[in-house]
Amino acid sequence: MTNEALQQTILSWFPDPEFTQPQFSEEGSQYLTVNTEPEQLHELMQLLKNNPETHFDYLFCLTGVDYGKELGVVYHLESTVHRHMLVVKVQTEERENPVLESVQDLWATANYHEREVYDFFGIIFRNHPNLKRLFLTEDWEGYPLRKDYVDEMNMVVK
């Protein structure tokens, strides 16, 4: 499926997502990117996985991002059957209690990736079966990959 066909398929499901076309440069993405709203995330991901035309059966990367005002998650999907790829991005402006739907029910590999994002960014994944810290101790305070995180003990001053 071409990027244009992927885009048209997604537009038939949701009329208003934003797309970024691939740019093969140092600054751009090599994959078609779709930005979705948190409320539509799980439904979109379920359609992308289960629709026979898209059949994104492989989640090969899930990572958290602190954009400054917003927190977000970026998902890299691949169809091993059709050999096409897609990036899905979702953001929330809620920094005090950021919540997104878990996709671990769709891709088992998301289980650990979501725990890592929770651990380092504090994003809560609703319906995750075991959302707890993965790398940091349970008594750790804060989320070290957020831009507003302050670690007085390990500060590097230039």
Q: What's the CATH number where 8 sits?
A: 3.30.460.80
pTM for the full predicted model: 0.91
Residue pair 104/125 in contact by the 8 Å Cβ criterion? yes
Tell which residue, 53, 112, 64, has the closest CA to residue 86: 53
The alpha carbon of 135 is separated from its chain's Cα centroid by a whole number of angstroms, namely 19
Q: How many domains does the chain have?
A: 1
Residue 131 pLDDT exceeds 80: yes
User: What pLDDT, in 10s, does the model give residues 60-112?
Assistant: 999 999 999 999 999 999 999 999 999 999 999 999 999 999 999 999 999 99
Beta bridge partners of 33: 20, 87
**Where in the sequence is the domain holding 69, given as residue range(s)?**
3-154
Decide: residue 56, CB within 10 A, 0-12 exposed, 13-18 middle, 19+ buried.
buried
Identify the pLDDT of residue 119: 97
